[in-house]
């Protein structure tokens, strides 16, 4: 009985956050996150979570899903954490955003055909072009709200570059990191080039914890780990490991 009482006391005193796994579900957004054939996730942000989970003494479990479904997993507490998030009031109702943001800037590039004769050196030069944009994607405020520009909506990256190759549009706008990675993965990087003009925007990207996850009790610990990784250059090194550091 004495041993049983000791065991029960230890069990009841064990911290609420003493879980063994860290679960994340997220959408396909290379190179940050890629859904593999078995449904698991790889990519830059998954490498970041591997480091964090190891330092938290947790086993990382990943799952690919559509963006809206992934957000619902966080709402229901079926996922512990999610990366690649912009902060807004709606999400803050069911997620705790961890400071600091692990990315603070996004560079948007304009891609031209390799043999293009267009001069694209400033924002003003965009007015003479037709630009492929993805439906429902935000780039940067001035561009998104500028109805004077000629924009051609497409459903995905491949459609945009097909139009550019076929000279049905003059340029494609994308995040530099994602655009460079996509062209490299498709083996078509030699067909296109960056315009001289690019736009860098301050846009913090966060890791967040579901408010229904036991991990929320370790928010400060996770915050400290992220800050240490930023201070040491470890996060920059993760990006550089994908040969993308110069693009973002």
Largest CA distance in the chain: 86
- 114 and 196 in one domain? yes
> Considering the domain boundaries, does residue 13 fall inside one?
no
Query: Contact, 226 vs 97, CB < 8 A?
Result: no
**Residue 18 confidence class, pLDDT cut points 50, 70, 90:** low
Angle at 8 between CA 5 and CA 9, to 5 degrees: 85
Q: What is the pLDDT of residues 167-219, one digit of tens each?
A: 999 999 999 988 999 999 999 999 999 999 999 989 899 999 999 999 999 99
> Considering the domain boundaries, does residue 9 fall inside one?
no
For 21-80, where are the alpha helices, taking DSSP H only? 44-55, 67-76
Count of structural domains, the chain:
2
Residue at which a domain ends, from 185, 200, 215: 200
Q: d(Cα 181, Cα 245) in Å, to the nearest integer?
A: 11
Query: Contact, 164 vs 113, CB < 8 A?
Result: yes
- 211 and 194 in one domain? no
> Considering the domain boundaries, does residue 41 fall inside one?
yes
Q: Is the pLDDT of residue 24 over 80?
A: yes
- 221 and 168 in one domain? no
The pLDDT, as a whole number, for residue 48 is 97
- 79 and 152 in one domain? no
Q: Which domain holds residue 112?
A: 107-200
Q: Is the pLDDT of residue 247 over 80?
A: no
* Per-residue DSSP letter, 14: S
42 forms bridges with which residues in the sheet? 34
The pLDDT, as a whole number, for residue 190 is 96
- 194 and 158 in one domain? yes
Lowest-confidence range among 15-24, 200-209, 220-229? 15-24
Q: d(Cα 81, Cα 78) in Å, to the nearest integer?
A: 9
Q: Is the pLDDT of residue 16 over 80?
A: no
Report DSSP letters for 80-144, one per residue: SEEEEE---HHHHTTEEEEEEEEEEEEEEEEEEETT------SGGGGGGSEEEEETT----HHHH
Q: Could you tell me what percent of the chain has a pLDDT over 90?
A: 75
> Considering the domain boundaries, does residue 27 fall inside one?
yes
> Considering the domain boundaries, does residue 179 fall inside one?
yes
- 94 and 24 in one domain? yes
Question: If phi over 0 gives left and psi between -120 and 50 gives alpha, with beta otherwise, what is residue 57?
Answer: left
- 189 and 118 in one domain? yes
CATH of the domain at 170: 3.40.190.10
Residue 237: strand, helix, or coil: helix
- 93 and 64 in one domain? yes
Q: What is the pLDDT of residues 94-141, one digit of tens each?
A: 999 999 999 998 899 999 999 999 999 999 999 999 999 998 788 998
Query: How many other C-beta atoms can be found within 10 angstroms of the C-beta atom of residue 215?
Result: 21
Q: What is the pLDDT of residues 52-70, one digit of tens each?
A: 999 999 999 999 999 889 9
Q: Is the pLDDT of residue 227 over 50?
A: yes
> Considering the domain boundaries, does residue 191 fall inside one?
yes
The pLDDT, as a whole number, for residue 248 is 43
The pLDDT, as a whole number, for residue 7 is 45
Q: Is the pLDDT of residue 33 over 80?
A: yes
- 69 and 23 in one domain? yes
> Considering the domain boundaries, does residue 11 fall inside one?
no
Q: What is the pTM of this model?
A: 0.73
The pLDDT, as a whole number, for residue 10 is 45
Query: Contact, 32 vs 44, CB < 8 A?
Result: yes
- 67 and 133 in one domain? no
**Residue 160 confidence class, pLDDT cut points 50, 70, 90:** very high
Query: Contact, 248 vs 177, CB < 8 A?
Result: yes
> Considering the domain boundaries, does residue 129 fall inside one?
yes
- 232 and 176 in one domain? no
- 194 and 114 in one domain? yes
Distance from the Cα of residue 76 to its chain's centroid = 21
**Residue 241 confidence class, pLDDT cut points 50, 70, 90:** confident
């Amino acid at each position: 009985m004495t041993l049983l009482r000791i065991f029960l006391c230890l069990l009841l005193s064990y911290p609420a956050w003493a879980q063994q796994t860290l679960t994340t579900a997220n959408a396909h957004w290379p190179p940050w996150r890629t859904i593999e054939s078995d449904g698991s996730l790889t990519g830059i942000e998954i490498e970041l979570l591997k480091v964090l989970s190891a330092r938290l003494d947790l086993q990382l479990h990943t799952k690919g899903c559509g963006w809206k479904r992934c957000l619902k997993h966080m709402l229901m507490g079926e996922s512990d954490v999610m990366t690649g998030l912009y902060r807004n009031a709606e999400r803050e109702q069911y997620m705790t955003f961890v400071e600091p943001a692990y990315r603070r800037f996004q560079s948007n590039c304009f891609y031209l055909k390799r043999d293009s004769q267009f001069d694209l050196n400033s924002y003003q030069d965009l007015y003479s072009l037709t630009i492929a944009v993805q439906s429902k994607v935000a780039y940067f405020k001035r561009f998104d709200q500028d109805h004077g520009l000629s924009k051609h909506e497409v459903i995905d990256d491949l459609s945009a570059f097909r139009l550019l190759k076929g000279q049905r549009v003059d340029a494609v706008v994308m995040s530099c990191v994602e655009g460079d990675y996509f062209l490299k993965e498709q083996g078509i990087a030699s067909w296109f080039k960056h315009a001289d003009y690019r736009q860098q925007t301050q846009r913090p990207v966060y890791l967040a914890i579901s408010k229904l996850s036991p991990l929320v009790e370790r928010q400060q610990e996770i915050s400290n780990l992220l800050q240490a990784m930023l201070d040491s250059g470890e996060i920059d090194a993760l990006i550089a490991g994908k040969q993308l550091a110069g693009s973002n």
